[in-house]
Amino acid sequence: MDPEAVSKAFVEHYYSTFDANRGSLGSLYQETSMLTFEGQQIQGSQNIVAKLNSLPFQQCKHTITTVDCQPSGPAGGMIVFVSGSLQLAGEQHALKFSQVLTVP
Query: Which CATH class for the 3-103 domain?
Result: alpha beta
Q: How many other β-carbons are positioned within 10 Å of the β-carbon of residue 49?
A: 20
pLDDT over 80 (residue 38): yes
User: What pLDDT band is residue 85 in, cutting at 50, 70 and 90?
Assistant: very high
Q: Strands (DSSP E) along the chain, which ranges?
A: 34-37, 40-43, 60-72, 77-88, 95-103
pLDDT of residue 77: 86
Dump pLDDT digits (tens) for 52-80: 999 999 899 999 999 999 988 787 789 99
Which residue ranges make up each domain of the chain? 3-103
Q: Give the bridge partners for 67, in sequence order.
A: 82
Dump pLDDT digits (tens) for 9-30: 999 999 999 999 999 999 999 9
Which residues, at least 6 apart from 96, have a Cβ–Cβ distance to it below 8 Å?
83, 84, 85, 86
